[in-house]
Structure 1
Amino acid sequence: MPYEAIRVDIDAATRVATVTLNRPDKLNSFTRAMHHELSAALDEVETAGARALVLTGAGRGFCAGQDLADLDFTPGAMTDLGDLIDKHFNPLIRRLQALPLPVIAAVNGTAAGAGANLALACDLVLAARSASFIQAFVKIGLVPDSGGTWFLPQRIGMARALGLAITGDKLSAEKAESWGLIWQVVDDADLQSTAARLATQLAQQPTRAIAAIKQAMRASATQTLDQQLDLERDMQRELGASHDYEEGVRAFIEKRAPRFEGR
């Protein structure tokens, strides 16, 4: 389908999909129309059989969160933020977390509000050295959404999570990396090539196993050790009957590179 607020590119050779938020004049902030397009783009990525996804932004910012101009501030008819989140932001975060392929955020500039948490919902976050992350919600009297109150304490601890959320202070990419909030910082000029190279590498891996790793890691936040041990057992049993396990073992024995197919 034709898109206005995003761009979609799927490389048939590498099977890497790149989805670019494309409202650079608005720092790629979200409108409801953009949500609909992004949902359709993720459908396209899955239907095309992509084996890795890069999510990035056009221009000087990654995503500034919700575009306030898309909301109604008329007294008595103001946009219900809970309804907006329930219909658009929460389904997006859940879908990114559940995609059966590795998802890389290439944060090319400011990631603010829901834009910051959109990046954190991806599996791996690469950030340009000049990028920053801002939990800007408190500055307009709101609470972090799009998973922010879950991602932040999970990754950096309660003290730092509360500090970022309560002050709304900007966090540099380098500090985000040192705190363990994101995977890696790279020079601005190298961001897109590094993301493409990593996505290509991951697309060649056993993506069914990667999907299971994602599921297991995230389940651990709410499960006991006994529950997690049982989940690992069940996943290992299922993956042990897969093509990729058989191929991986055969390639190891034959001392050659494996040819994984995600099945």
Structure 2
Amino acid sequence: MTTDINDRVLLDIEGGVATLTLNRPTALNALDTKLAEALSAGLSRCEEDDAIRAVVLRGAGDNFMAGGDIKMFSALLNEPSGARRSYFERLIHQVHESIIIMRRMPKPVIASVRGAAAGFGVSLVLASDLAIAADDAVFTLAYCHIGVSPDGGSTFHLAHAVGIKKAMEIALLGDRYSATDAESLGLINRAVTSSNLEDETAKLANRLAAGPTAAYGRTKQLLNASLNTSLESQLQAEAERFAASATTADFAEGITAFLGKRKPEFTGR
């Protein structure tokens, strides 16, 4: 079942997997106001729909997302600086809603990347729980090339993913990185051939959708919290969420299946 959030984002739901497709292929899926609105709306729907157990984020056509819409930015150059500043603050707060939803939702989010991933496209990859990319993918933070600092949580996620020195290099120089480089750096989980990207993405998404999604949600909370907490707080959170997981039907199924030497059939409950 495919639904247009608006003409900028398509939502397809099949077998517990929701695929959100950024749909501006002639503009390399560049971010404009309508796409920002549609992306947060699509992610909200994925978060709220209990039938959705995993989410895939991809771009239409041959590219993932080439960052912000430069033509839209250009149209604002004649605006007074105060008006321009207000516009971009509102836009970026709207864009950041998507990042917050991706990190908050208990379901795993997979970025499936081919072609260009630039600017906010890289931010989306970094905010995803897992990322898989075709060998033709190219990653560049790129903000420095238009004289702005990054957004989309990339300054947070990048530093944690690659370390502060490498994050400085990636952000300040704006160089391009291949899928193989991105895998080595920890920006993505794996690089695959372009012809295998869809199959490998589906395989990963279906595996996650068939898993103990309630436990996945608690695992996401723990790993995200670990980026900004003390060991003692993390240990307490682990105890609470393990105990909560142990009350679920998935826990009982996992134990029973293990003892019965069979594959568990999780329901997310």
Normalised TM-score (structure 2): 0.93
Q: What is the aligned-residue RMSD (CA, Å)?
A: 1.4
Output the CA distance in 1 between the equivalents of 2:221 and 2:50: 22
Q: Of 8, 33, 40, which residue of structure 1 is paired with 2:11?
A: 8
Matched, 1:85 2:89: no
Find the aligned partners of 2:221 and 2:79 in 1 and give their Cα distance. Answer: 43
* Deviation for aligned residue 1:101: 0.8
Q: Which amino acid aligns with 1:70?
A: M
Give the CA deviation at 1:43. Answer: 3.4
Q: Within the alignment, does 1:207 sit opposite 2:189 as a pair?
A: no
2:36 counterpart residue number = 35
Aligned residues: 260
How many Å separate the matches in 1 of 2:124 and 2:21? Answer: 13
- Residue 146 of structure 1: how far off its partner (Å): 0.4
CA deviations over 1:86-111 (Å, ceiling 9, x no partner): 1x211110111111111100011111
- Residue equivalent to 1:166: 172
Q: Counterpart of 2:249 in structure 1: which amino acid?
A: H
- Structure 2 distance, partners of 1:250, 1:209, is 16
CA distance in 2, matches of 1:149, 1:36: 22
- Where 1:221 maps in the other structure, the secondary structure is helix
Unaligned runs of 5+ in 2: none
For 2:79, which of 69, 75, 81 is the aligned residue?
75
Question: In 2, distance between residues paired with 1:33 and 1:111?
Answer: 19
SS at match of 1:106: strand
TM-score (norm 1): 0.95
SS in 1 for 2:240: helix
1:48 offset after TM fit, Å? 5.8
Separation (CA, whole Å) in 2 of partners of 1:42 and 1:167: 31
Partner of residue 197, structure 2 = 191
Distance 1:195 1:111 in 2: 17
Q: Residue 56 of structure 1: CA displacement?
A: 0.5
8 Å CA contact 2:29, 2:60 repeated in 1? yes
Answer yes or no: is 1:23 the counterpart of 2:29.
no
Cα distance change of structure 1 residues 235 and 48 upon mapping to structure 2, 3 Å threshold: closer
What's 1:65 paired with? 67
Give 1:39 shift: 2.4
Q: Report how far residue 42 of structure 1 moved.
A: 2.3
Given that 1:32 and 1:70 are in contact with CA atoms closer than 8 Å, whether structure 2 keeps it comes out as no
Which whole-Å CA distance do the structure 2 matches of 1:120 and 1:73 have between them?
30
Question: 1:126 and 2:132 equivalent?
Answer: yes
Q: What is the percentage of aligned positions where both structures have the same residue? A: 39
Letter in 1 for 2:77: F
Structure 1 consecutive aligned stretches of length 4 or more whose deviation exceeds 4 Å: none
Match for residue 250 of structure 1?
256
CA distance in 2, matches of 1:115, 1:52: 20
Taking the aligned partners of 1:7 and 1:70, their CA distance within structure 2 comes to 22
Q: Give the superposition deviation at 1:10.
A: 0.5
Between the aligned partners of 1:9 and 1:75, the Cα distance in structure 2 is 39
Segments of 5+ residues of structure 1 without an aligned counterpart are none
CA-CA distance at 1:69 after TM superposition = 2.7
| Shift, 1:75, TM fit | 3.1
